[in-house]
């Protein structure tokens, strides 16, 4: 059960964090001055990596672990794992390129695309939080 609870904590943390990012942090990119937008975008990437690194590692490892050594059936870990795969693919192919563009300077269209595309991760991690809770229950 330690693995299941570790999975739950990491997943719920990521779900809460992504909602904060979606509702508060990403929209604030529109409020940063043009003069400081490059520094802001670079700092965002550095600081975010420090905050999400360990929880994402724990979540990933425990997701795989729960599939191969499930608490109950493998169905919930499989569904959760597929959602996590989609979240990471979204990160790699949508959010990371948008963040890369923002390190060259503020662009309203890029920030808007970042906010819209981030709903994939927001909904995904929210669903994963429910699945992680169901695994523990």
DSSP state of 23: I
* 72: pLDDT strictly greater than 90: no
Q: Where are the domains of the chain?
A: 2-136
Helix (H, G, I), strand (E, B) or coil at 137: coil
pLDDT in tens, 3-38: 999 999 999 999 999 999 999 999 999 999 999 999
pLDDT in tens, 98-136: 999 999 999 999 999 999 999 999 999 999 999 999 999
Per-residue pLDDT, 70:
87
Task: Name which of 64, 52, 69, 65 is nearest 10 in CA terms.
Answer: 52
The rounded distance, in Å, linking the Cα atoms of 22 and 19 is 5
Element (H, E) at 58: helix 37-68
Task: Name which of 2, 118, 130, 12 is nearest 66 in CA terms.
Answer: 2
Task: Kindly give, in sequence order, each residue whose CB lies less than 8 Å from that of residue 123, ignoring residues fewer than 6 positions away.
Answer: none
* 49: pLDDT strictly greater than 90: yes
Task: Kindly give, in sequence order, each residue whose CB lies less than 8 Å from that of residue 47, ignoring residues fewer than 6 positions away.
Answer: none
Q: What is the pTM of this model?
A: 0.93
């Amino acid at each position: 059960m330690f693995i299941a609870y570790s999975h739950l904590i990491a997943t719920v943390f990521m779900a809460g964090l992504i909602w904060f990012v979606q509702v508060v942090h990403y929209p604030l990119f529109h409020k940063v001055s043009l003069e400081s937008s490059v520094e802001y975008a670079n700092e965002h990437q550095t600081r975010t990596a420090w905050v999400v690194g360990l929880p994402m590692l724990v979540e990933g490892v425990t997701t795989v672990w729960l599939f191969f050594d499930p608490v109950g059936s493998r169905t919930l870990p499989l569904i959760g794992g597929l959602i996590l795969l989609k979240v990471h693919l979204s990160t790699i192919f949508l959010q990371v390129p948008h963040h890369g563009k923002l390190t060259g300077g503020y662009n309203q269209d890029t920030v808007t695309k970042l906010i819209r595309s981030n709903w994939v991760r927001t909904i995904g991690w929210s669903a994963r939080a429910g699945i992680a809770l169901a695994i523990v229950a």
